[in-house]
Amino acid sequence: MSAVGTRGAWRVPGRIEFLGKHTDYAGGNVLVGAVDRGVSAVAEQVDGAAGFLSATTTAGGEPVSLQAGMDHGLAAGHWGRYLQTVLDRLTANFGPSVPAHLTITSDLPPASGMSSSSALICASALALADLNGWSSTELWRRNIPDRLSLAGYLAGVEAGRPWRELLGAEGVGTQGGSEDHTGMLCGEADTLLLARFAPMEIRERVAFPEDWAIVVGVSGVLAEKTGAALANYNRGPLTLRSVLARWNKSTGRQDA
């Protein structure tokens, strides 16, 4: 294993869907890009037992203290549940974390449709991976060799799916795809990505017109996808699975 560092820091932007809504988990296409606001995570080693993680945020949540593999009874939608999911999955895939503290800052409006929760998962996972030296291991490089693979893995962390050799673990409760993570981690300035999924592929990078601007108006109505909005969020993927099962039964096919 690579040497443990003293600090890991990542900033991950939010994303905006330009064309294609809930198409990723159906293997469809989407035109997506990163925005100029995001979530930052700084991980620092602290005293304590292996697998201990404390965290603070400027985004309105109270401080949390977590331990890998423990249920701390956090309510659905609590920001600490995302960190627990990250900690448990990384521990399962790469081994115990050094005791750490995460400092989370954000200028991305929460629960506003720009995937602040996915940005939190990505930023915190990457900061912890760098702190522990996991991102320099052969296991990491073999399974996550590039940014697109990284998006696929972190989408699996969120949804609980396995990724190549890396076994799945309990996710945050959503059954979505990997569009958000692809837009965040593979996006470039002034560029939209034309991506398809199942399998993941970036088909084209499209220059955004210089004389255009995207204006985002946040209503203030929160849509916490692991809280009150969870059932509505998961209705699409669950409906698709039902339709696919009926299709395969009636045709004798084994489409996936």
Tens digit of each residue's pLDDT, the chain (256 residues) = 345 668 999 999 999 998 887 777 777 899 999 999 999 999 999 999 999 999 999 887 899 999 999 998 888 788 999 999 999 999 999 999 999 999 999 999 887 788 899 999 999 999 999 999 999 999 999 999 999 999 999 999 999 999 999 999 988 877 677 899 999 999 999 999 999 988 899 999 999 999 998 888 877 776 666 556 667 766 766 776 677 678 777 888 776 6
Q: To 5 degrees, how large is the angle CA 63–CA 111–CA 204?
A: 120
- pLDDT of amino acid 1: 37
d(CA 120, CA 154): 11
pTM score of the predicted model: 0.87
256 in a structural domain: no
- pLDDT of amino acid 177: 79
102 in a structural domain: yes
- pLDDT of amino acid 245: 77
Provide the CATH number for the domain around residue 233.
3.30.230.10
How many domains does the structure of the chain reveal? 1
- pLDDT of amino acid 28: 84
Residues 35-56 as b or e (16 or more Cβ within 10 Å = b): beebbbbbbbbeeeeebbbbbe
Q: Tokens 């401080």, residue?
A: 63
**Torsion 137-143-147-151 (CA) sign:** negative
- pLDDT of amino acid 228: 61
d(CA 114, CA 109): 8
2 in a structural domain: no
226 in a structural domain: yes
- Name the residue range of residue 144's domain: 7-251
**Per-residue tokens: 74:** 């956090």
Q: Is 94 helix (H, G, I), strand (E, B) or coil?
A: helix
Q: Is 118 helix (H, G, I), strand (E, B) or coil?
A: helix
Burial class (CB in 10 A: 0-12, 13-18, 19+), 219: exposed
122 in a structural domain: yes
232 in a structural domain: yes
N- to C-terminal Cα separation, the chain: 36
- pLDDT of amino acid 248: 76
1 in a structural domain: no
Beta strands 29-45 and 100-106 are: antiparallel
171 in a structural domain: yes
